[in-house]
Amino acid sequence: MKELFTTGEAAEICKVSQQTIIRCFDSGKLIGFRIPGSKFRRIPRESLIKFMKDNAIPLDNLETGKKKILIVDDDIEIVELMVDVLIRDGRFDVRTASSGYDAGLMTQQFSPDLIILDYMLPDVNGNIVCQTIRKNSDFESTKIIIVSGVVNPSEIEGLLKAGAEGFIKKPFDISELVNKITSVLSLS
Amino acid sequence: MAQPHPNTSASRQVELIIRKLSSLSVLPQTARRLFTLFSQQGVQPQGLADIISSDAALAAKILSIGAQSGIEDGSIDSLCRKLPLSTIRDAALAVKIFEAFDPDYDPDSKRPLPRKQLVIHSLAVAIASRLIAQYLPSFKADPQTAFAAGLLHDIGKLAIDEVMPKSFEKIVQESKSLSASIASVEKKTLGVDHCVIGKRLGEKWNLPDDIITAVWLHHEDMAMPEIAGSNLARIVNTADKLVRSLSMGDSGNYESTDFAEDILTAIGLERQQSSELIVLLDEQLQQKKTSLGLDGPAQSPSFITAVQNTAASVAKLNTDLRNDNIKLHSETAVSKFLSQFVADIKPQSSPIEIASAFAAGFARTYQAGNVCVLLKGENNELETALVTPGNVDYTVVAIPADIDWDSLRNIKTPDAAHPHLPWVYKKLHDKLDPQARLLLLTSGPKLIGLIIFETSRPQLELPSIQQALTLLAALVALAQSNYKQKRLSENFAYLLRELKETSAQLASAKAMLSAAELAAGAAHEFNNPLAVISGRAQLLLQSESDPQRLQMLKQIQERSTEITSMISDLMYFANPPAPAKKHAPLAEIIQSAIANAAAKAGLSQPEVHLSGLESVPTVFVDPGQITTALSNIIENAFESYPGSSGPVDISVFSRPDDDQAEIKIKDTGCGMDSATLAKAPNPFFSARLAGRKRGIGLSHAHRLLGLNNAAVKLTSAPNTGTTATITLPCRPGLGQ
């Protein structure tokens, strides 16, 4: 987890200009220090959080150190199951979507590290969602795992070709689900 | 004999040979009885009729003579009363009795279909046909005619057995191993089946029309058009199925049948009547069998030799008489030749028969030597009849590609034939004198045939020959168009039957597939609920410490995993992946299939005997799919032993230049009866109690083998075990 921020990073996180951060730093409203032997300002994580809370700035953009996962499935109970599993694991920050359209919106807002994508969505098929995300260079580093009940190896290969990093067969073993996610995200 | 092959010229060859059969052998038992009867004073017509009506070959001959004498009666009993006794006796002797006395001929031999069994089958069908005709007056079939039709329904088989016994053996074996209709196997192997051969023989022998129809159509199950004999055909069809379901005799046909009572109620009998009829059939058949000595063992060789000698001398006497007749004929004039020729021709005669009758007359009248008639058929072939003294050879000669048939019309006649037709001489193995002369057979502007004849006469009576040729050409042209139509109707009947068989197969394959597809579609819907059930159980498991609850949660999880794999099987069956074929070592495939099967059956030390693995080839298949298929079959073999692990024999047969490798997987376990065997490839069919075990293994194996151009044949009998014979292609593009 990131512990020290520059004034530029703090401005980005708080969605204000760098000048404003510098002014607050210099007036003592935002506590920090200068790097010895230079004029560069540095802000510790805790004081940035305090500053944001004091000024009612949402903490959303402050990186929690957790990997962001978007779960896309139209079956609410499947979504709940996966959320329970991932929250219990503790390493993940989880959002959900129930259609291809929602998935697109959430991807823009949340910019997840990983999308767990059901193939059979009510509006579009998972491979279309997959291709759309792959075409957008903003989400170059976003990983995708497709979930489906198909068994035919050639169909699975077809899904992976649409740009997914992994495949999970429904129904799944929950430890396999977590293992797949950690391996795709290269977590230990 | 030429190797039979299902192409046009082969099937025509077969027809030509069949037509050469002037009569069929009768059974030794029948012959013995006949000789005893003829050596007595005052033969009773009834006794004679009894013997004749028990033997298809003899009955056909007598009916044929009846028709020639103008007695329109399908019943053998009344023919025996109406025909002069001497005529019957001569006819009986003319039948090739002595051939049946071949000392090597053993009716109870190990041949797949002993002649005696076929005769018992024919007898039973005859009796059953008579009974059905009696029980169902609405069919308006004369019971005695029904008896004759039933007796004769398989004369086509007798003919095939007589002319090409080896091929017939193979056909019977194949029908047996595939449980297939013998007619379709014949059609596949010979290009023609015993029904059509029987029809041809019937026509040749002038049998009554309705009997010919019954012989021809006795394998047709569908509603038939109202033609003479269609009711008779239905009766014989039913009788045949009934007799096969009751296992009386052996017809060489191993297509599965319904229960006896159901067969009879299907044609319109009451259930009560059906049971009565079956009892009567059994009684009457036993009577016939006993009175004909078919129950007893074959007679001793010395007796056979004695009768054989007697028969041979009688036959020789007959031949001498016939030769005298021929001499007499040769003295007749040209006009007599022509009128005789016209009289000899029957409405059913085929073009080549007309031509050979002409050739024989021609040889007599012009004192020619060998005469060969060649008629242009379809497909650039010449149907050929080579008439030599006392013999006619029928064959088919293909016209070489570089020969322009129509240009032969310009040859000056009667030129020497050899310079113009060296290819014909070659095909006939130079059985004709190179000096033989050539005549052209023309119909209008068309050249329809050639006649090559040997002659020693310097001068020929050309005008009279020309007159004869014109007549012949007209008759041949007429017969050709007539014949084409007949062939058309025969082919039509074939097509209908094939259509019926294929559509039945298609329907069952389609039903299976659409059921699987339906299930696979529904299965997709199972995945989400299953994921939730199994996932929730797993989550609960993680935080549970109570041992009893742990056990329950484990059960929930395991059972949902089991459903998952069933669903996968189903979806796999409905929509299998395309095989990734490559050259793969068969030995490795077999080894891993055995290991997989043993693991699935839970056997650590399976008892497997492997043989032929030393020289196994590589095969061209998807190794993964074939491993799965073989492993499923081997697993079934393991499971055929309740509570033990084998032994299972696996042997591989292949020669270096073979296109295919054959694997036999054999167990001596519980085996299957024929009903189970027929259903075995259906998915989810299992002979075990419902719910005990999924039955998809074998159908899965079938499916995968089919995708890889491989085939599997199962043979099985209860308590003796099952053998699966699998053939795999060794090269790309085989077996498609």
For B547-588, write each residue's pLDDT tens digit: 999 999 999 988 888 888 777 777 777 777 788 888 888 888
Question: Do B559 and B475 belong to one domain?
Answer: no
Mutate to test the interface with B, among A89, A157, A170 (most CBs of B within 10 A): A170
Contacts of A171 in chain B (CB under 8 A): 527, 530-531, 533-535, 560-561, 564
Question: Do A75 and A152 belong to one domain?
Answer: yes
> What average pLDDT does range B125-143 have in this prediction?
87
Confidence label for B38 from pLDDT (cuts 50, 70 and 90): low
User: How far apart (Å, rounded) are the C-alpha atoms in residues B56 and B215?
Assistant: 12
Identify the residue with better confidence: B296 or B726: B726
According to the model, what pLDDT value does residue B39 have?
55
CB–CB contact B538 A174 (8 Å): yes
| End residue of a domain, out of A35, A61, A87 | A61
Question: Do B470 and B537 belong to one domain?
Answer: no
| End residue of a domain, out of B531, B557, B574 | B574
| Residue B309 located in a structural domain | no
| Residue B324 located in a structural domain | no
Question: Do A143 and A177 belong to one domain?
Answer: yes
| Residue B316 located in a structural domain | no
Question: Do B464 and B604 belong to one domain?
Answer: no
| End residue of a domain, out of A43, A61, A79 | A61
Confidence label for B311 from pLDDT (cuts 50, 70 and 90): very low
Contacts of A85 in chain B (CB under 8 A): 535, 539
Residue type, A98: S
| End residue of a domain, out of A26, A42, A61 | A61
Question: Do B48 and B190 belong to one domain?
Answer: yes
| Residue B395 located in a structural domain | yes
CB–CB contact B535 A170 (8 Å): no
Chain-centroid distance, C-alpha A41: 28
According to the model, what pLDDT value does residue B315 have?
45
Identify the residue with better confidence: A41 or B161: A41
According to the model, what pLDDT value does residue B286 have?
84
B249 contacts B121 by C-beta, under 8 angstroms: yes
> What is the 3-class SS of chain A, one letter each residue?
CCCEECHHHHHHHHCCCHHHHHHHHHHCCCCCEECCCCCCEEEEHHHHHHHHHHCCCCCCCCCCCCEEEEEECCCHHHHHHHHHHHHHHCCEEEEEECCHHHHHHHHHHHCCCEEEEECECCCCEHHHHHHHHHHCHHHCCCEEEEEECCCCHHHHHHHHHCCCCEEEECCCCHHHHHHHHHHHCCCC
CB–CB contact B567 A85 (8 Å): no
Nearest by CB to B531, from A150, A151, A170: name it: A170
Question: Is 60 exceeded by the pLDDT of residue B314?
Answer: no
User: Buried (b) or exposed (e) across B223-253, using 16+ Cβ within 10 A?
Assistant: ebeeeebbbbbbbbbbbbbbbbbbebbbbbb
CB proximity B575 to A under 8 Å? yes
According to the model, what pLDDT value does residue A24 have?
92
According to the model, what pLDDT value does residue B322 have?
47
Contacts of A77 in chain B (CB under 8 A): 528, 532
Distance (Å) of CA B175 to CA B127, B178, B255, B714: 25, 5, 7, 13
Domain interval for residue A168: 66-184
CB–CB contact A154 B577 (8 Å): yes
Question: Do B68 and B128 belong to one domain?
Answer: yes
| Residue B663 located in a structural domain | yes
| Residue B301 located in a structural domain | no
Nearest by CB to B535, from A149, A150, A174: name it: A174
For B578-632, write each residue's pLDDT tens digit: 888 888 888 889 989 988 888 887 777 788 888 887 777 788 899 988 998 898 8
CB within 8 Å of A123: residues ≥ 6 apart: A99, A100, A101
Q: Check which CATH number belongs to the domain holding A29 and give it.
A: 1.10.1660
Question: Do B413 and B525 belong to one domain?
Answer: no
Question: Do A70 and A118 belong to one domain?
Answer: yes
CB neighbours of residue B542 within 10 Å = 11
Would you say the pTM of this structure is higher than 0.95? no
| End residue of a domain, out of B419, B448, B479 | B479
Give me the residue label for tokens 């359209």.
A101
Q: Nearest CA to CA, how far is B622 from chain A (Å)?
A: 14
Question: Do B261 and B408 belong to one domain?
Answer: no
User: How far apart (Å, rounded) are the C-alpha atoms in residues B329 and B277?
Assistant: 54
Q: Nearest CA to CA, how far is A121 from chain B (Å)?
A: 12
What integer best gives the mean pLDDT of chain B?
74
ipTM for the whole complex? 0.71
Confidence label for B11 from pLDDT (cuts 50, 70 and 90): low
User: How far apart (Å, rounded) are the C-alpha atoms in residues B447 and B410?
Assistant: 10
CB–CB contact B531 A172 (8 Å): yes
Question: Do B642 and B556 belong to one domain?
Answer: no
- Please list the ranges in chain A whose pLDDT falls under 70: 1, 63-65, 151-152, 188
Identify the residue with better confidence: B102 or B106: B106
Question: Do A18 and A94 belong to one domain?
Answer: no
Residues of A with CB under 8 A from a CB of B: 75, 77-78, 81-82, 84-85, 88, 120, 149-154, 170-175
Contacts of A178 in chain B (CB under 8 A): none
Question: Do B459 and B538 belong to one domain?
Answer: no
As a whole number of Å, the CA-based R_g of chain A is 20
According to the model, what pLDDT value does residue A83 have?
94
Question: Do B635 and B508 belong to one domain?
Answer: no
Question: Do A26 and A98 belong to one domain?
Answer: no
Q: Nearest CA to CA, how far is B521 from chain A (Å)?
A: 11
For B560, nearest residue in chain A (alpha carbons)? A171
Q: Check which CATH number belongs to the domain holding A89 and give it.
A: 3.40.50.2300
According to the model, what pLDDT value does residue A114 have?
94
- The DSSP element (H or E) to which B392 belongs, if any, is strand B391-398
Question: Do A93 and A174 belong to one domain?
Answer: yes
How many domains does chain A divide into?
A: 2
For A175, nearest residue in chain B (alpha carbons)? B538
According to the model, what pLDDT value does residue B420 have?
83
According to the model, what pLDDT value does residue B36 have?
64
For B318-374, write each residue's pLDDT tens digit: 455 445 444 444 334 556 676 677 777 766 677 888 888 888 877 777 777 888 888
Which pairing describes strands B446-453 and B371-376: parallel, antiparallel, or unpaired?
Answer: antiparallel
Question: Is 70 exceeded by the pLDDT of residue B127?
Answer: yes
With pLDDT > 70 as the criterion, what percentage of chain B qualifies?
68
**Residue B12, SS3?**
helix
> What average pLDDT does range B660-689 have in this prediction?
69
Phi-psi region of A163 (alpha: psi -120 to 50; beta: other; left: phi over 0): left
CB proximity B521 to A under 8 Å? no
Give me the residue label for tokens 């059994």.
B282
Q: Check which CATH number belongs to the domain holding B643 and give it.
A: 3.30.565.10
As a whole number of Å, the CA-based R_g of chain B is 32
Nearest alpha carbon to residue B216 among B228, B204, B200? B200
How many domains does chain B divide into?
A: 4
According to the model, what pLDDT value does residue B5 have?
42
Q: Check which CATH number belongs to the domain holding B36 and give it.
A: 1.10.3210.10
CB–CB contact B528 A172 (8 Å): no
CB–CB contact A175 B538 (8 Å): yes
Question: Do B78 and B124 belong to one domain?
Answer: yes
According to the model, what pLDDT value does residue A86 have?
92
Contacts of B527 in chain A (CB under 8 A): 149, 170-171
Mutate to test the interface with A, among B525, B526, B528 (most CBs of A within 10 A): B528
> What average pLDDT does range B34-46 have in this prediction?
63
Q: Nearest CA to CA, how far is B607 from chain A (Å)?
A: 33
Nearest by CB to B528, from A78, A173, A175: name it: A78
Q: Nearest CA to CA, how far is B691 from chain A (Å)?
A: 22
Interface of B with A in 419-438 (CB under 8 A): none
Question: Do B604 and B552 belong to one domain?
Answer: no
Question: Do A27 and A80 belong to one domain?
Answer: no
User: How far apart (Å, rounded) are the C-alpha atoms in residues B506 and B508?
Assistant: 5
Question: Do A38 and A73 belong to one domain?
Answer: no
Question: Do A97 and A43 belong to one domain?
Answer: no
Q: Nearest CA to CA, how far is A96 from chain B (Å)?
A: 17
Nearest alpha carbon to residue B93 among B299, B316, B327, B390? B316
According to the model, what pLDDT value does residue B330 have?
39
CB neighbours of residue B422 within 10 Å = 13
User: How far apart (Å, rounded) are the C-alpha atoms in residues B121 and B125?
Assistant: 6
Which of A16-25, B138-147, B386-395, B469-478 is the least confident region? B469-478
Mutate to test the interface with B, among A72, A81, A146, A176 (most CBs of B within 10 A): A81
B212 contacts B229 by C-beta, under 8 angstroms: yes
Confidence label for B4 from pLDDT (cuts 50, 70 and 90): very low
Question: Do A154 and A88 belong to one domain?
Answer: yes
| Residue B453 located in a structural domain | yes
Question: Do A54 and A78 belong to one domain?
Answer: no
| Residue B734 located in a structural domain | no
According to the model, what pLDDT value does residue B295 have?
59
**Beta-carbon pairs below 8 A across chains A and B:** 60
| End residue of a domain, out of B512, B544, B574 | B574
Question: Do A13 and A48 belong to one domain?
Answer: yes
User: How far apart (Å, rounded) are the C-alpha atoms in residues B241 and B251?
Assistant: 10
N-term to C-term CA, chain B: 29
CB–CB contact A172 B575 (8 Å): no
DSSP tag of B256 = -
CB–CB contact B538 A78 (8 Å): no
Domain interval for residue B102: 8-292
For B260-270, write each residue's pLDDT tens digit: 888 888 888 88
CB–CB contact A77 B532 (8 Å): yes
N-term to C-term CA, chain A: 15
CB–CB contact B572 A152 (8 Å): yes
